Amino acid sequence: MWKQPLVTDFFKKYRWDYVMAVVAVGISKIIQVQIPNIIGNLINQFRLGITVRLIQHYAGELAVVSIGYVLLFGLGQFTVGKLARIFEAHLRQRLFSHWELLEVQYFQKHTVGDLLSHVLNDVPTVRQAMAGGISQILQAAFLFLATLAMTVTKINWILTAASLIPLLLIPVVVVRIGPKIRRQSRLVQEALSEMSDLAEESLQSIRLIKSTANEPIETQRFTRKTDLIYDRSMDLVRLNTTFQALIPLLTGISFAIALVFGGELTLTHKISLGAFVAFTVYLSMLVRPLMQFGNVINIFQNSSASLSRIETLLKAKPQITDPASPQSMPSFPSVTIQDLTFKYPHSTKPALQHITLKIPAGSTLGIVGHTGAGKTTLCSLLLRELDPDPGAIFIGGVDIRDLSRADLRDHVAYVPQEGFLFSFPVGDNIGFPLTDSNPALVTEAAHKARILTTIQNMPRGFATIVGERGINLSGGQRQRVAIARALVKIDAKILILDDSLSAVDSGTESSILAALQELRQKNQTTTIIISHRLSSLRDVDHILVLEDGMMAEYGTPKDLLSRLGGLYSHLYHIQTQGGAHLG
């Protein structure tokens, strides 16, 4: 654990704080071991003759020693605890910042529940090692050495050695049981991660579960996961119980030896009665450090596994990077696609093949096609969520790979299919792309997306909480809020709607499209509209029809309608004649 960069870098940064903690704890333990010696001297004084003044003297010594111990030990403990909390916050921030840099494909390979498990379980485990682990190892090391020095130099080294024999078996117990505890702990963590995945999935699909009356089935699935956690946790409890039971057993044997051998030394006057009493106190003080050594080993074993998992997460590198010297986003960008072919990793068939077209600045392109035709893949390439080949996509004559991702996405307003909403006020959802609060822009965007009146009729207006993933809103309302969130980016040069009008009624759809057409004419915004509903494409300049990742047709709506037997004409007549909806 201590050789891993996350820990070593933190120690280097806060080395003087740790030095202060070590010194404070070390001195406090040296002070603490004086207490039994003072008690032993007091008992010896009872045999030689005691006075009230002597009792007050020894009481004063105990008070001074105790106060010094508490102050120094408290300083060391507080420092170590504070540093552990700093490390925990730093680790969580670093994990989240790192995840924000990774592309979408990474989160398709790793479930959200698994990633959250690292934050909720692994990070606190590492923090426990940085706080409790370090604190206990400092206490144990200093107290053990200081106590041993006092018993050897002040009492009797033979008595000390004989009494220590059973206690020295504690490391053997730790070596045998410790690895088993670590393996079982890992199994418990894996079961917790699986439970988190299931809980998240079930809660996100709560509407589907309730609409199909599947609550008992989901409860059974969750119960099986909790039963697995219980079984694995009980195995871990049994191991820990065995470990913790053996320690007191060895301690009892050690005290038995001390009573027999120490009692004989006292009766033969080889040590004083005060020294014997002090030794029994010292022996009890030796037990705790040895128990802490065992606890620390378990803590560090568990945290080492957690830290390794976190290190693995942080080693994941973004597959899509910015150029060394990025070019600026053109003011009025056209979009040019030249022989674009793209295949997902581990896929045998290209998602897009030989796509070539040009979208002039300020014009609108409609894209249609069956599910899986490659429409969303094309959007992801235009946003560089996926990386096209060099020379395949140009924005205003600049290769998209020569633009920084931040600059590109700052100037692209994108409304995805799902229209995801955060669980905070509707106004904050719309203003999410803005760096500073701007109620006027939020209100204007809501008006253009034809959601303003609906928001104003909500109980708290723009301050109304939409619920997790917008659960308090209808599908059409969520889509319109998502469109407003895109339109609030007044500097956007390109607008992409990925089937973002599917849940709104035809009248609202026409009103939104009219607002978008006005926006396009005013700002020369290049617009791409993907839709299964061909009514959404009635005002576009050109239409691209995709089929199996290839360009099946391309032209103006009028040209495509005139092609009898063409896919677009076929879809148009199905929808206009009241047939089944595409998709």
Is the pLDDT reported for residue 505 higher than 50?
Answer: yes
Residue 452 has pLDDT above 90, yes or no: no
Mean pLDDT of 414-424: 81
Q: Does the pLDDT value for residue 332 go beyond 50?
A: yes
Please state, in angstroms and rounded to a whole number, the distance separating the CA atoms of residues 532 and 518. Answer: 23
Would you state the pLDDT for residue 288?
76
Same domain, 541 and 435: no
How many domains in the chain?
3
Rounded-to-integer distance, Cα 298 and Cα 181, Å: 7
**Domain end point (choices 260, 284, 315):** 315
| Domain identity same for 399 and 501 | yes
Instruction: Give the pLDDT confidence score for residue 75 in this predicted structure.
Output: 92
What is the reported pTM? 0.66
Are 92 and 118 contained in the same domain?
A: yes
Residue 320 in any domain: the answer is no
Residue 123 domain-assigned?
yes
| Average pLDDT, rounded, for the chain | 83
Is residue 322 one of the residues assigned to a domain? no
CATH number at residue 583: 3.40.50.300
Domain that holds residue 254: 5-315
Q: Are residues 25 and 102 in the same domain?
A: yes
Residues 435, 403 share a domain:
no
CATH of the domain at 143: 1.20.1560.10
pLDDT score for 4: 66
Answer yes or no: are the C-beta atoms of 500 and 417 closer than 8 Å.
Answer: yes
Q: What is the pLDDT of residues 16-62, one digit of tens each?
A: 988 998 899 889 888 888 888 888 888 878 777 777 888 888 889 88
2 confidence band (pLDDT: 50, 70, 90):
low
Alpha-carbon 395 to chain mean position: 35
Claim to verify: residue 457 and residue 535 sit in the same structural domain: no
Residues in the chain: 583
Q: Which residues contact 30 (CB under 8 A, 6 or more apart)?
A: 142, 146
The residue assigned the tokens 């995840």 is 99
420 vs 429: CA distance, rounded Å: 10
Secondary structure element (H or E) that encloses residue 530, with its range: strand 526-530
Domain's final residue, options 280, 315, 350: 315
Same domain for 93 and 118:
yes
Q: Are residues 204 and 271 part of one domain? A: yes
Asked if 498 and 485 sit in the same domain, the reply is no
Residues 448, 480 within the same domain: yes
Tens digits of residue pLDDT in 428-444? 888 888 877 788 888 98
Residue 325 lies inside a defined structural domain of this protein: no
In a domain, 517, yes or no: yes
pLDDT by residue (tens digit) across 371-411? 888 888 898 898 888 888 899 999 988 899 998 888 888 88
Cα-Cα-Cα-Cα torsion 33, 34, 35, 39, nearest 10 degrees, comes to: 130
- 40 plus 141 within the same structural domain: yes
Q: Tell me, yes or no, whether 321 lies in a domain.
A: no
Q: What pLDDT is attached to residue 339?
A: 92
**pLDDT over 60 at 581, yes or no:** no
pLDDT digits (tens, 9 = 90+) for 94-122: 888 888 777 777 776 777 777 777 777 78
For the ranges 121-135, 222-236, 345-359, 436-450, which has the lowest average pLDDT?
A: 121-135
Per-residue model confidence as pLDDT tens digits over 122-176: 888 788 777 777 887 888 888 888 888 888 888 888 888 888 888 878 777 777 7
Q: Is the dihedral of CA 564, 570, 573, 576 positive or negative?
A: negative
pLDDT recorded at residue 3: 61
Last residue of a domain, one of 284, 315, 346: 315
Q: Would residue 563 count as lying in a domain?
A: yes
Is residue 416 within 8 Å of residue 498, measured between CB atoms?
yes
DSSP 358: E
Task: Please name the residues in contact with 450: beta carbons below 8 A apart, sequence gap of 6 or more.
Answer: 480, 508, 511, 512, 515
Count CA atoms within 13 Å of residue 182 on its CB side.
19
Residue 346 is inside which H or E element, if any?
none
Instruction: Say whether both 404 and 446 belong to one domain.
Output: no
Instruction: With respect to residue 324, please indicate whether it lies within any of the assigned structural domains.
Output: no
In DSSP terms, which residues pair with 554 in a beta bridge?
A: 544
